[in-house]
């Protein structure tokens, strides 16, 4: 049943295989009706992840414009914060700088660069080298 705010039945339908079917004759006989379909939580998050964690405003724009093949023209809403998006937006606190260098004597202070991965492995199967 689809009812208006007063509780009057506007449309009736049947359900089979998780699909509701409505009679077009009933729809045409009644007053003008606007039906809105909202994407389920799982469908919203599936598209969010499939589109590389694109924000929901952009997903709704793509759906309205029909720019993505297979993307249904539904209203996608964010129900909760995506943990992957939250992790990507988070910042790690930097370490406090040391007040002074601890050991600057020759054998203790060594500057080296890491080079790699190299195209050809070493005899030991290594692809990175230290350059001092």
- pLDDT > 70? residue 76: yes
Alpha helices, DSSP H, located in the chain: 24-29, 41-50, 56-65, 83-89
Verify that 45 and 69 share a domain, yes or no: yes
pTM: 0.40
Go through the chain and tell me how many residues it has.
Answer: 132
Domain assignment of residue 70, given as a range: 41-81
Express each pLDDT in 22-53 by its tens digit.
766 655 665 665 655 555 666 778 888 888 88
- Domain count of the fold of the chain: 2
- Residue at 3 is within a domain: yes
Q: What is the pLDDT of residue 101?
A: 64
Verify that 73 and 47 share a domain, yes or no: yes
- pLDDT > 70? residue 12: yes
- Residue at 26 is within a domain: yes
- Residue at 68 is within a domain: yes
Verify that 29 and 1 share a domain, yes or no: yes
Verify that 30 and 51 share a domain, yes or no: no
On the 0-12 / 13-18 / 19+ scale of CB atoms within 10 A, 116 is exposed
Q: What is the pLDDT of residue 125?
A: 85
């Amino acid at each position: 049943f689809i009812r208006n705010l007063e509780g009057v039945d506007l449309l009736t339908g049947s359900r089979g295989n998780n699909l509701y079917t409505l009679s077009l004759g009933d729809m045409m006989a009644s007053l003008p009706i606007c039906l809105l379909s909202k994407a389920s939580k799982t469908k919203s998050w599936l598209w969010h992840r499939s589109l590389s964690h694109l924000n929901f405003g952009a997903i709704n724009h793509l759906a309205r414009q029909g720019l993505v093949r297979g993307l249904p023209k539904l209203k996608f809403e964010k129900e909760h914060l995506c943990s992957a998006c939250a992790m990507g937006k988070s910042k790690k606190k930097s370490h406090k700088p040391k007040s002074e260098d601890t050991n600057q004597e020759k054998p203790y202070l060594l500057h080296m660069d890491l080079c790699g991965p190299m195209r050809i492995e070493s005899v030991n199967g290594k692809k990175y080298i230290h350059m001092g």
